[in-house]
Structure formats: C-alpha cells, structure tokens
C-alpha cells in the first residue's frame, strides 16, 4: 500500500469557517492511524481533503509520496468506508463486491477471483446471493469493507465505519477489523469520536481539537504521557482527573496544596529536586482514577465526600466531591478494585500515587519532569 501525509494543511470553508489549522501528520505505509476528537473538530474534513472530495486552502496532501492536491478523487486510488455503508440496495452482496471491478472493466475471471478472495477473507461466502436488507448490521459493514478491499487501493479512509452498530457488535467487529487490517498490512486513516475505538484499533492515535492536532502517539504513550490537558481529559474512561493545585514545601519534601488541605507527597529525592522549580506556582495537576486509593484511617489523603458509586463488578467507580478544590466541590473519580459499599454523603480520604501525578502549566501543556 502507500504512505499518506498532510503537510501544513489549512481548510477554510466558503463562508469563512476555518475548520483546519496548520495540520501536519504522516501515516506510514501499512500503519493504522486513528484520528479521534469531539464532534465538529475537523476529522471528516481531513478525510475528505485526502480523498479529493474537497480542496485544501493551503498545504500539500501526499499519497505514496506524490502531491495529490490537483488529482481528481478517482485517480487518488483511496477507498472510503462510511458509517452508512452506502451499499447498493438492489444489488446482491456479490453485485456490490463486483461493482467497483466492473467499473474498471476488469476481465470476468479476474473479477470472480477478487470477489472470492474478499468473500473468504471477510466470511461472506454464504451470503453472496443476499440483498443488503437481508443482512445484519455487522454483515453489511463487512460487505462495505469488502467493496473497499477488492479495489486494492493505496489506502483505506474510514469515517466512523462502526458507529451504526450496537455496542456489543461494535466491540466484536472492531476486533475483527483490527485483525484484518493487520493481516493486510493496510495503510488506514480511521476517523472516530470514540476514544476506546481509536485506542484499540490505531497503531498510533492522533487527537484533534478545534481543527488543531494535539498529539499523535502510540496508544500507551498517549495514555501515560498526554501532551496537554485536552488529551489527558479526552483519553481514558473515565478520563484523567484534572484539578488546580500548588506544590508546597512540606517536611523537607513536597506537598500538594488543595485549598485548605496539604497532602504530603511520597517522592524520591531526585523527583523532589526536579519539581522544586514549580514550587507555589498555580498549576493544573492530573491523576488517573486508578492511581487514587482509599486511605486507611491513619493514612494521608484528600478529604472528600462521596457523591456516587458505580458498581461494575470487577471494580467500583467512586465519584467524590472535594470542597477544598477550586471550584469548591469539584469532582474526582477513583477506580477501586472489586465492589465496596458506599453511601452518598459519606466522608472518605483518598491517597494518590505521587509518582503518577501529571503536571500542566498555565497554557495546558504537560510540564517536563512529571510522568
Ligand atoms: P467532525 O468530522 O470532527 O465532526 P467536520 O470535519 O465535519 O468535523 O467539521 C469541522 C468544522 O467544519 C465544523 O465546525 C463544521 O461545522 C464545519 N464544516 C464542515 N463542513 C462544512 C461545510 N461544507 N461548510 C461550512 N462549514 C463546514
């Protein structure tokens, strides 16, 4: 397949809405890149620009190293898969799979060979004579994939292809799709607003907000080292807890001052030395729900009040309010193992893994030296 690249792309729609701002991103040959962000952040716009369905206002779009800005869509050789499948309702599965090949006037034997290949790959063998309305959502999605596959494109561009499926089926098809893309070594740009889908499918995940790239990294890096508060608050379910606080000197080490409370932080000397640079500065701190724990009676932690508890069987998501946070009563979520009974209004004390604290500056960017 082929590599893809966006170089300094701006897009302003007629009427003046600027949807994309200086966007730079390369997708390697064979890589699956998931592009994720909230609704309206510009994901579909980027896909449409690469497919040639719309023109960039500035910058270069490359497929296989070639600048394709001036090529019409049919000559870009990319296959798009949409959420509404766009299958031809009056054609059988076989007819739908054959259609792009017939359009290219391929010999009949070649068409039959390609259709058989895609049908076997996608488990559609027994369904070739059915019409789309005789298929389940998951099967229709597979036919749409098959139709993209038989074209043997330079790359796949997928726009929320699973979003019409119910939750359980989505997880199943997601796993199948991931395995298929791996097997094919298919260069794929996969657009979704669902961070779990992006994290499970993407070799790398690019996070977009308001038309600007926030971070592009493998899922684990994105989770463990978010570049800014937007990424920290978007990735993870529940996402990272973010709250304003200051570092303060405490007992020869450092403490975290949350309003009236000061929480001593158990840190190595090296970390204390690094973090001293931000002593007393107003910062935003972040901690993942799994790095908050219930402190025992004699333990030290953030004093908080239970507002809700979600019992999920293997874990409990404990929602608390902290009156000392700014704004007062700001919420934190802790992920606690197993089922623990809580009642609303109960006072709890939450300790945190100090070494897993993230620090962000006034501009929202992650500070060096934190995790
Ligand atoms: P996403 O796919 O992330 O939901 P879009 O790429 O569809 O976002 O849209 C990005 C921004 O561009 C939005 O503010 C949207 O309203 C605007 N937009 C999209 N298409 C057009 C259009 N044809 N004309 C004007 N504005 C548009």
Domains of the chain, earliest start first: 4-234 (3.40.50.300), 241-360 (2.40.50.140)
Q: Is the pLDDT of residue 169 over 90?
A: no
Query: HEC states along 293-347?
Result: EECCCCCCCEEEEEEEEEECCCEEEEEEEECCCCCCCEEEEEEEECCCCCCCCCE
- Locate the ligand 1 atom nearest the alpha carbon of residue 11 and give its number: 12
Which of 79-88, 246-255, 336-345 is least confident? 79-88
pLDDT of amino acid 328: 66
Q: Give the C-alpha separation, 51 to 302, whole Å.
A: 51
Residue closest to 205 by CA, chosen among 3, 56, 31, 50? 31
pLDDT of amino acid 329: 64
Q: How far is the CA of 95 from the centre of ligand 1 (A)?
A: 33
Q: Give the C-alpha separation, 158 to 5, whole Å.
A: 16
Question: Which CA distances in Å does 131 have to 84, 89, 144, 161, 285?
Answer: 16, 7, 13, 20, 55
Q: How far is the CA of 48 from the centre of ligand 1 (A)?
A: 11
Q: From atom 25 of ligand 1, which residue's Cα is the shortest distance away?
A: 13
Q: How far is the CA of 318 from the centre of ligand 1 (A)?
A: 37
pLDDT of amino acid 326: 65
Which of 60-64, 325-329, 349-353 is least confident? 325-329
Q: Is the pLDDT of residue 65 over 80?
A: yes
Query: Averaged over 14-32, what is the pLDDT?
Result: 97
Are 188 and 32 within 8 A, CB to CB?
yes
Query: Averaged over 49-60, what is the pLDDT?
Result: 96
- Residue to mutate (ligand 1; options 10, 12, 13; most atoms within 8 A of CB): 13
Name the most confidently modeled range: 78-92, 144-158, 228-242: 228-242
pLDDT of amino acid 45: 97
- Locate the ligand 1 atom nearest the alpha carbon of residue 42 and give its number: 6
Taking only the tens place, the pLDDT of each residue in 183-213 is 888 899 999 999 999 999 999 999 999 999 9
pLDDT above 70: percentage of residues in the chain: 98
Taking only the tens place, the pLDDT of each residue in 290-336 is 999 999 766 788 989 999 999 999 999 999 998 777 676 678 999 99
Q: How far is the CA of 80 from the centre of ligand 1 (A)?
A: 18
Query: Ligand 1 pocket by C-beta < 6 Å: which residues?
Result: 13, 15, 17, 19, 37, 39-45
- Locate the ligand 1 atom nearest the alpha carbon of residue 47 and give its number: 6
Query: Averaged over 258-269, what is the pLDDT?
Result: 88
pLDDT of amino acid 12: 98
Query: Averaged over 352-367, what is the pLDDT?
Result: 94
Which of 6-15, 49-58, 101-110 is least confident? 101-110
Which of 4-18, 85-99, 112-126, 292-306 is least confident? 292-306
Q: How far is the CA of 53 from the centre of ligand 1 (A)?
A: 13
More confident: 219 or 300: 219
Q: Is the pLDDT of residue 14 over 90?
A: yes
Query: Averaged over 86-99, what is the pLDDT?
Result: 94
Q: From atom 14 of ligand 1, which residue's Cα is the shortest distance away?
A: 40
* pLDDT confidence bin for 362, thresholds 50/70/90: very high
- Locate the ligand 1 atom nearest the alpha carbon of residue 45 and give its number: 6
pLDDT of amino acid 74: 86
Mean pLDDT for the chain overall: 92
């Amino acid at each position: 397949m082929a590599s893809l690249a966006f170089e300094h792309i701006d897009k302003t729609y007629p009427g003046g809405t600027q949807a994309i701002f200086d966007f730079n991103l390369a997708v390697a040959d064979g890589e699956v890149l998931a592009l994720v962000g909230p609704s309206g952040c510009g994901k579909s716009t980027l896909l449409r620009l690469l497919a040639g369905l719309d023109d960039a206002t500035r910058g270069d779009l490359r497929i296989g190293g070639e600048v394709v800005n001036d090529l019409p869509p049919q000559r870009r050789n990319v296959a798009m898969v949409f959420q509404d499948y766009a299958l031809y309702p009056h054609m059988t599965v076989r007819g739908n799979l054959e259609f792009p090949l017939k359009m290219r006037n391929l010999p009949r034997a070649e068409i039959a060979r390609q259709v058989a290949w895609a049908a076997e790959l996608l488990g559609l063998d027994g369904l070739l004579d059915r019409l789309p309305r005789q298929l389940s959502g998951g099967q229709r999605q597979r036919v749409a994939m098959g139709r993209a596959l038989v074209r043997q494109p330079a790359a796949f561009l997928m726009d929320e292809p699973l979003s019409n499926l119910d939750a359980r089926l989505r997880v199943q098809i997601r796993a199948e799709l991931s395995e298929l893309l791996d097997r094919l070594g298919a260069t794929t740009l996969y657009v979704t607003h669902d961070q779990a889908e992006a994290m499970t499918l993407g070799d790398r995940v690019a996070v977009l907000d308001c038309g600007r790239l926030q971070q592009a990294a493998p899922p684990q890096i994105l989770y463990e080292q978010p570049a800014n508060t937007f990424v920290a608050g978007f990735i993870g379910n529940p996402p990272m807890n973010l709250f304003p606080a200051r570092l303060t000197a405490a007992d020869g080490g450092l403490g975290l001052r949350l309003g009236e409370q000061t929480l001593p932080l158990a840190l190595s000397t090296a970390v204390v030395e690094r973090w001293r640079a931000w002593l007393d500065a107003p910062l935003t701190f972040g901690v993942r729900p799994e790095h908050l724990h219930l402190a025992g009676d004699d333990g030290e932690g953030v004093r908080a009040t239970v507002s809700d508890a979600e019992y999920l069987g293997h874990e409990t998501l404990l929602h608390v309010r902290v009156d000392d946070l700014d704004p007062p009563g700001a919420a934190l979520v802790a992920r606690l193992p197993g089922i623990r009974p809580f009642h609303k209004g109960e006072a709890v004390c939450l300790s945190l893994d100090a070494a897993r604290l993230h620090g962000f500056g006034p501009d929202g960017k992650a500070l060096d030296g934190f995790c």
